[in-house]
Amino acid sequence: MIFTKIDGNIKEREDLGHVHVENAMVKSDDLAKSILRVKSDHHNEYGIRLEEGKLENGSFFFIDDHHVLVLNVIPEEMIVITPKDMDDCGVIAHMLGNMHKPVKVKGGKISLLYDTVVAKNLEKSNVEFKVEEIQLEESLRYVDLS
């Protein structure tokens, strides 16, 4: 079976208690793809070829009237940086930009997938950071300057 349209997000639907749920675990990078093959916890394989929309943690597809497939993002080890001030933020952003790393900026924090080279550079530059297991809601993206 190949899905071409996202039917919704499981977090926004409370009326799905009557359906049987199959879960498929995906990496956060997979959320940026429009063509994807997944295997559910019921050992069924499904194809996804989106004509529009973007995948998120919790995206679901109706298999039939009584079954739905839900995508769940595998938690990943991430570097989380909380800049002290705007100057610190500028230096950190410049450093990460030079390393061409996709990041998520939200709530005054900069998050990116764990990378030993990045961690060593942050330590060398005396930038404080934490390493946390995080389940991303959407894929990390590069800044779009177009």
Cα(28)–Cα(141) distance, integer angstroms? 11
Q: Which amino acid does the sequence have at 134? A: I
Quickly tell me which residue has 């199959």 as its tokens: 22
Pick the CATH number of 76-134 from 3.40.190.10, 3.40.710.10, 3.30.930.10, 3.30.70.790: 3.30.70.790
Q: Is the pLDDT of residue 20 over 70?
A: yes
pLDDT confidence bin for 143, thresholds 50/70/90: low
Cα(31)–Cα(27) distance, integer angstroms? 7
> Any idea where the domains of the chain sit in the sequence?
2-73, 76-134
pLDDT digits (tens, 9 = 90+) for 107-120: 999 999 999 999 99
**1-10, 42-51, 113-122, 134-143: which range is least confident on average?**
134-143
Q: Provide the percentage of residues in the chain whose pLDDT is more than 90.
A: 69
Query: Whole-model pTM?
Result: 0.78
Same CATH fold assignment for domains 2-73 and 76-134: no
For residue 103, give the DSSP letter: B
* 104-106 β-sheet, strand order: 104-106, 109-113, 76-81, 129-134
Q: What is the average pLDDT across 69-77?
A: 95
CATH of span 2-73: 2.60.260.20
What is the number of helices (H) and of strands (E) in the chain? 2, 11
* Beta strand spans in 45-142 (E): 45-49, 59-64, 67-73, 76-81, 104-106, 109-113, 129-134
